[in-house]
Chains A and B, each alone.
Chain A
């Protein structure tokens, strides 16, 4: 008799223990833990990046007061505006020109630093990276002051060489030049640091072999350095194209898009149209135009990177 009672008791006890055990086990299982660890990341990206991106498409289809659905109305409106096409052209030229110069200067300076004795390289790196460390809003203010129509320190210095006062920000051609100049000043150090790290990873013996094979300095760069750096060049160019294309700070502070909208980029014009003129759907439409261009660039370069990656 007693056995049966004990048996029953035991049977009754195990189900609850098993239930607790399974929750415990579930928590110990790798994929559950992993899920919880990545959950905040997923929520953040879904809620504050992916959703707004899609929401932006929805917004672009509304009218100014956001009551009515107008489909492609905003887009057709933009296509007819001359400013819009100016912005497209300006953004592309700005991004491509600035990135080319940043990459070139970064490459050259990286070589210069790489060729100095190792002990001194640190201080050169330190000095040359400063533009990238200073918040762009702050340094652009300094440039604004350097370009000031009445008090420009550059014009002051140039006047000693007989070169007349340059309207750095007042005239379209010079304004575009100045904006690109400041962007290059800000962004070249990034390229320099990336390329410098990559230069150090090319084995010395390859250069020695090339030297013995008869290559002079630029042949060594063309046949050894550049091919070994193909991947890093592609990645940095991609990053920079996207970041430069979407640039806001520099243009906003230096020219606010002027004179006469000739330095507007997508970001600054979207800001002016969407926030300052309170036409959110139109602003959203402008911003959205960046997407196809960015996507095309991303696809090209990512494809190139993975193709090379399989070779290495």
Chain B
């Protein structure tokens, strides 16, 4: 069994706590992504799982055994580094077989494993080359091959795609997903790119300043963020946040953005926000795809209003529009032929069925 458990794991450097108490349970065969901005502690956490950093407090268990004091070489893990870390003086085959040769696996077995992994990763022709003769993408595949042949309990990936150009990154993402489907090893993957997190993970762990903000499937995080940080981090372009107030008018709950603009809440939402304290500062969270051009027929929960556009970005399949509302810059997505032009007015609609209400002070989503 190869589940990974973290219990109240803390990492301290002198007086600074880089990781402040992480609890995480990763099931066998699961692909978990740790995502967050620089300095949030995700790489440190990964390195503690690997044994490359000491654990200041708490426990880490791999396969049910506490591994706090077990050196990396005995943890039965494999790691893919951002800089590939291939041995420059060894060929691809020697790089991949290094771990197995150290454990004195029989030659036939080593060859079988290398062939299988090379075939899976499409690097069969490169077997006898040295790292300096390979491109970045090829090197990354060799690094993955090195991990695969070991057949460890856990794969660890430390921002493996950050050194590749954009197109290659997309390709490699697909490769990694395919490999996971075949090999099914428990994987912990660290990245700062939320797109990678969303596309690769079974579950995503969003980290910020050494703590876990939220754990959930990509869908959960996208549609039901628990905090402002998660709401802003996941999704591109980012969610819009507008200061607002709740008020009761004519028996219905409204959300007021400016003196002129107040939208009635759809019943489902109104029910949830019934008990929201209206004396606290609130934020209205709306994703750009829920701010569109006004449609011909009205739909429940969709409210229309007029806005003066500042800037438009034609992206081909849609146009991103930017305008100012309640003092803040707001981003919306409209059809490319909706008639959006820089500096012109446009009638827009907000889909309040997908709105979020946040407490500005605590950052929590209500």
Chain A interface residues toward B at CB < 8 A = 203, 205-206, 208-216, 219, 223-224, 227-228, 230, 311-312
Q: How far is the CA of A205 from the CA of B88 in the complex (A)?
A: 12
How far is A224 from B102 in the complex, measured between Cα atoms in Å?
A: 13
B227 interface residue (CB < 8 Å to A): no
Decide if B103 is an interface residue (CB 8 Å cutoff). Answer: yes
When distances are taken between beta carbons in the complex, the residues of chain B under 8 Å from A205 are: 81, 83, 85
Instruction: Say whether, besides A208-B52, A219-B102, A223-B98, A214 and B85 are in contact (CB < 8 Å).
Output: no
A/B interface sample: 8 pairs, CB < 8 A:
A211-B52, A211-B71, A212-B52, A212-B73, A213-B99, A213-B150, A227-B87, A311-B89
The yes or no answer to B209 lying at the interface (CB within 8 A) is no
- Measured in the bound complex, the distance between the Cα atoms of B81 and A224 in whole Å is 16
Residue of A nearest to B71 (CB): A211
Per the 8 Å Cβ criterion, residues 126-154 of B in contact with A are 130, 132, 146, 150
| Complex: A91 Cα to B184 Cα, angstroms | 64
Contact partner of A228 (CB less than 8 A), chosen from B51, B89, B103, B146, is B89
- CB of B60 closer than 8 Å to a CB of A: no
Q: Which residue of A lies closest to B81 (CB)?
A: A205
Contact partners of A211 in chain B: CB under 8 A: 51-52, 71-73
A213 touching B146 in the complex, CB below 8 Å, given contacts A205-B83, A208-B85 = yes
Report A-chain residues with C-beta under 8 Å of the C-beta of B86.
209
Closest to B74 in A: A214
Number of B residues with CB within 8 Å of any CB on chain A:
25
Q: How far is the CA of A307 from the CA of B86 in the complex (A)?
A: 21
- Say yes or no: is B348 at the interface (Cβ < 8 Å to chain A): no
A223→B88 CA distance, assembly (Å): 11
Is the beta-carbon distance between B81 and A228 smaller than 8 angstroms? no
Min distance, Cβ A214 to any Cβ of chain B, angstroms = 4
B78 beta carbon closer than 8 Å to chain A:
yes
Given A223-B87, A311-B89, answer yes or no on A212-B79 (Cβ-Cβ < 8 Å): yes
B79: contacting residue among A209, A215, A216, CB under 8 A = A209
Query: Looking across the interface, which residue of chain B has its beta carbon closest to that of A226?
Result: B89
Q: How far is the CB of A211 from chain B (nearest CB, A)?
A: 4
Q: Are A212 and B98 in contact (CB under 8 A)?
A: no
Nearest Cβ on chain B to A176's Cβ, whole angstroms: 38
Residue of B nearest to A308 (CB): B89
For B147, give the chain A residue with the smallest CB separation.
A212
**A311, B72: Cβ atoms closer than 8 Å:** no
Contact B85–A203 (Cβ < 8 Å): yes
Please state if B88 and A212 are interface contacts (CB–CB under 8 Å): no
Chain B residues near A213: list those with CB within 8 A: 73, 78, 98-99, 102, 146, 150
User: Which 9 residue pairs across A and B have the least CB separation, nearest first?
Assistant: A213-B99, A209-B85, A205-B85, A227-B89, A214-B73, A211-B72, A214-B102, A212-B72, A212-B79
Q: Which residues of A contact B73 (CB under 8 A)?
A: 211-216
Which of chain B's residues 60-119 have a Cβ closer than 8 Å to chain A? 71-74, 77-79, 81, 83, 85-89, 98-99, 102-103
A215 to B99, CA, bound (A): 7
B50 close to chain A: CB less than 8 A? yes
| A228 in contact with B88 given A205-B81, A212-B77, A213-B73 (CB within 8 Å) | yes
* Chain A residues within 8 Å of B87, by CB: 206, 209-210, 223-224, 227
Q: What chain B residues lie within 8 Å of A311 (beta carbons)?
A: 89, 130
User: Which residue of A208, A219, A224 is within 8 Å of B72 (Cβ)?
Assistant: A208
- Contact A212 B102, beta carbon cutoff 8 Å: no
| Cα-based distance from A214 to B71 in the complex (angstroms) | 9
**B146 / chain A contacts, CB cutoff of 8 Å:** 209, 213
Bound complex: CA A80 to CA B342 (Å): 102
**Distance, CA A214 to CA B89, complexed state (A):** 18
Q: Would A312 and B88 count as touching, CB distance under 8 A?
A: yes
Contact: A203 with B83, CB < 8 Å?
yes
Q: Whose C-beta in chain B lies nearest to the C-beta of A208?
A: B52
Q: How far is the CA of A205 from the CA of B99 in the complex (A)?
A: 15
Inter-chain CA distance A206–B52, complex, in Å, is 12
Complex: how many Å from CA A215 to CA B150? 13
**Contacts known (A203-B83, A205-B81, A311-B89); A214 close to B52, Cβ less than 8 A:** no
Chain A nearest CB from B287 CB (Å) reads 39
- Chain A residues with CB under 8 Å of B150's CB are 213
Distance between B156 CB and nearest chain A CB, rounded to angstroms: 8
A214 to B132, CA, bound (A): 24
Query: Which residues on B sit within 8 Å (CB–CB) of A216?
Result: 73
Q: How far is the CA of A223 from the CA of B98 in the complex (A)?
A: 9
Chain B residues with CB under 8 A of A230: 89
Whole-angstrom CA separation of A203 from B86 in the bound complex: 11
In contact, A214 and B81 (Cβ under 8 angstroms): no
Given A205-B85, A208-B85, A215-B102, 14 other A-B contacts at CB below 8 A?
Answer: A203-B85, A205-B83, A208-B72, A209-B79, A209-B87, A210-B98, A211-B71, A211-B73, A212-B72, A214-B102, A215-B98, A216-B73, A219-B102, A223-B87
CA distance A209 to B50 in the complex (A): 10
Q: Which of B50, B83, B103 contacts A214 (CB 8 A)?
A: B103
Is A214 within 8 A of B88, CB to CB? Answer: no
Asked if A206 contacts B85 (CB within 8 A), the reply is yes
> Nearest chain B CB to A248's CB is how many angstroms away?
39
Whether B50 contacts A212 by the Cβ 8 Å rule is yes
Chain A nearest CB from B123 CB (Å) reads 18
Report A-chain residues with C-beta under 8 Å of the C-beta of B132: 312
Residues of B within 8 A of A208 (CB): 50, 52, 72, 79, 81, 85
Chain B residue nearest in CB terms to A215: B102
Using Cβ atoms and an 8 Å threshold, which residues of chain B touch A223?
A: 87, 98
Q: Which residue of B lies closest to A312 (CB)?
A: B88
What is the distance, in angstroms, from B168's C-beta to the closest C-beta of chain A?
A: 21
Task: Give the CA-CA distance A203 to B132 in the complex, in Å.
Answer: 15
**How far apart sit A223 and B50, CA to CA, in the bound complex (Å)?**
21
